[in-house]
């Protein structure tokens, strides 16, 4: 009996220590990293995190992939801010923003983004830049607010035909992602996610390797993939990535995004083409180019450029290609405004 009480007490102490470790770490992370941007209320008690850099008449607005935050644009935003006003943010449920209140579909996200821009006093015209899932969000923005958009750059946008319900064979992949995200929430609350990602991104990585090894071959594959993608980002943002991935809310937000994929596909599969707005579509050299029919379904003025040295993360594989493309859009927008005023 005494042995049982000892084990129970020790287990309780470890759980309490884990909760305290996570709570103190989260407070420290927020104080240390989130102060460079600002938080804005968009209604219903929701606050979104916004990061602005640069100056100019038009604003280059960045939208990240399905589980990514504003950090995904760190280098690009820094470089573009030298010649334009820029804004990136964390969607509800991700990064520093508060939990999401609605399904993570493009229409709902655009409504929140538009309110964020209004509250922040960031006026159009906007040059929209969206990666992957963010490409669908930016297409929806242009359809809902065409008069506020001067041009769009889609960075390997999500292809609806590759996901449920258009492609039911990938439903198992979504289910697995949702389940794993759900499992990660209590792990993060106990501080174990913080322990692993801090080891991986800020220290030797040995703790992360041991934990991945305990999860089997699947864990090792995930670890290798994470290392490969994060290594493309500037090393100075790695501790901030670790801070995001340490939060239980991050995994809850990821699960909300994954669960909304079928509804997102239904919303965007039959979306009207964008009319009268130039769209530049960057396609990785390691993927099949979009057909002319697919391009026409996106808009009536779409140019496709192949990023020959890139996989899905073109802005990390070939950042200069995207920076140069944005600069061309900024120059074109400035010229149009000069003519309109002239």
pLDDT at 284 over 60: yes
Phi, psi of 198 (to 5 degrees): -65, -40
User: Which H, E and C letters describe 37-77, residue by residue?
Assistant: CEEEECCCCCEEEEEEECCCCCEEEEECCCCCCHHHHHHHH
| Residues 156-189: tens digit of each pLDDT | 999 999 999 999 999 999 999 999 999 999 999 9
The CATH H-level (homologous superfamily) assignment of domain 39-63+88-166+265-341 is Alpha/Beta hydrolase fold, catalytic domain (3.40.50.1820)
pLDDT of residue 144: 98
| Residues 304-313: tens digit of each pLDDT | 999 999 999 9
Mean pLDDT of 290-308: 97
Burial 300-315 (b: 16+ CB within 10 A, else e): ebbebeebeebbebbb
pLDDT of residue 211: 52
**Structure letter (DSSP) for residue 299:** B
Q: Residues with Cβ < 8 Å from 39, sequence gap 6 or more?
A: 47, 48, 49, 50, 96
pLDDT at 328 over 70: yes
- 290/280 Cα distance (integer angstroms): 12
pLDDT of residue 339: 58
Mean pLDDT of 44-57: 95
Give CA angle at 38 (79, 239), nearest 5°.
65
pLDDT at 1 over 60: no
| Residues 98-149: tens digit of each pLDDT | 999 999 999 999 999 999 999 999 999 999 999 999 999 999 999 999 999 9
| Residues 66-91: tens digit of each pLDDT | 999 999 999 999 999 999 999 999 99
- 136/128 Cα distance (integer angstroms): 11
| Residues 193-248: tens digit of each pLDDT | 999 888 888 876 665 555 555 555 555 555 556 676 778 889 999 999 999 999 99
| Residues 207-219: tens digit of each pLDDT | 555 555 555 555 5
Cβ atoms 315, 322 nearer than 8 A: yes
Average pLDDT over the chain reads 91
- 132/312 Cα distance (integer angstroms): 8
Cβ atoms 141, 277 nearer than 8 A: no
- 222/226 Cα distance (integer angstroms): 6
């Amino acid at each position: 009996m005494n042995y049982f009480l000892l084990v129970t007490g020790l287990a309780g102490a470890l759980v309490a220590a884990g909760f305290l470790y996570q709570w103190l770490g989260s407070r420290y992370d927020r104080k240390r990293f989130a102060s460079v941007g600002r938080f804005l209320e968009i209604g219903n008690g929701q606050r979104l995190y916004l990061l602005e850099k640069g100056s100019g008449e038009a604003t280059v607005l960045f939208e990240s992939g399905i589980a990514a935050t504003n950090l995904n644009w760190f280098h690009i935003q820094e470089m573009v801010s030298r010649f334009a006003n820029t804004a990136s943010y964390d969607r509800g449920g991700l990064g520093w923003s508060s939990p999401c209140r609605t399904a993570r579909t493009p229409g709902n996200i655009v409504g929140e983004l538009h309110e964020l821009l209004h509250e922040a006093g960031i006026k159009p015209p906007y040059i929209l830049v969206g990666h992957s899932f963010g490409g669908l969000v930016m297409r929806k923005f242009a359809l809902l607010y065409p008069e506020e958009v001067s041009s769009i750059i889609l960075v390997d946008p999500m292809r609806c035909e590759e996901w449920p319900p258009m492609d039911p064979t990938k439903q198992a992949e979504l289910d697995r992602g949702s389940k794993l995200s759900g499992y990660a929430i209590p792990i993060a609350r106990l501080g174990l996610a913080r322990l692993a990602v801090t080891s991986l991104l800020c220290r030797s990585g040995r703790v992360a390797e041991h934990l991945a090894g305990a999860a089997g071959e699947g864990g090792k594959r995930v670890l290798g993939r994470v290392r490969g993608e994060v290594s493309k980002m500037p090393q100075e943002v790695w501790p901030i990535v670790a801070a995001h991935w340490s939060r239980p809310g991050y995994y809850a937000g990821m699960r909300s995004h994954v669960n909304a994929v079928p509804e997102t596909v239904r919303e965007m599969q039959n979306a009207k083409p964008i009319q009268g707005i130039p769209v530049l579509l960057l396609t990785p050299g390691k993927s099949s180019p979009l057909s002319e029919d697919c391009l026409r379904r996106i808009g009536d003025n779409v140019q496709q450029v192949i990023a020959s040295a890139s996989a899905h993360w073109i802005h990390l594989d070939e950042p200069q290609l995207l920076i140069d493309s944005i600069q061309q859009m900024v120059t074109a927008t400035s010229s149009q405004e000069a003519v309109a005023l002239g």
